[in-house]
Structure 1
Amino acid sequence: MSAEFSHEVSSRICKHMNEDHANAVLLYAQHFGGVANATKAEMLKIDSVGMDLTVQVSEETLPLRIEFDHNLVDSEDAHHTLIAMVKQARTS
């Protein structure tokens, strides 16, 4: 896979995360994005370098970019990385 995920791959991952793992997306925003007071987050896009979220803080919706600790190789790498990030956020 190239350095950028295709629109289809990004959309599929985001849809899955938002529908099935909304709590994990919120954890990413709170822990890795430094927005501890976020009450809701949505994944908009994922690429090999990071993910773009929107974050709800009080009445305001803010954009948030979270970069990965390495460049993702493919969607399987994204899957494993997102799981590892959730585990890290939960144990910190």
Structure 2
Amino acid sequence: MSKIFEIVIALYSAGILLPIALFLIRFLKSKVKNQKLQVLATYAEQAVVYAESKTTGSEAKYNEAVSYLTSLIKNSGLKLNVPDEQMKALIEEAVLLLKNKI
């Protein structure tokens, strides 16, 4: 344990500790953000599949997908704030991905 403490003191004295800490913070933030985007993409696919099975007509399907996606986000506990434009983009991307899978 004392070796680790000595290394930290040496890095701090050399002025290297702060840049390393800032790099690690940025890295962790981007990793968390990417994971949240992946969760949103998965939710959007689920919402599109749900809307396809429940309604007919493109506008009705879109509205159903938005409604279902909103409920998935609220119930996820992730405390995500998704603007309308991003919600639309997520659903459109999910539609394209699902069409390409078929």
TM-score, length of structure 2 as denominator length: 0.29
Greater strand share, structure number: 1
Larger Rg: 2
**Structure with the largest fraction of helix:** 2
State the TM-score, normalizing by the size of structure 1.
0.31
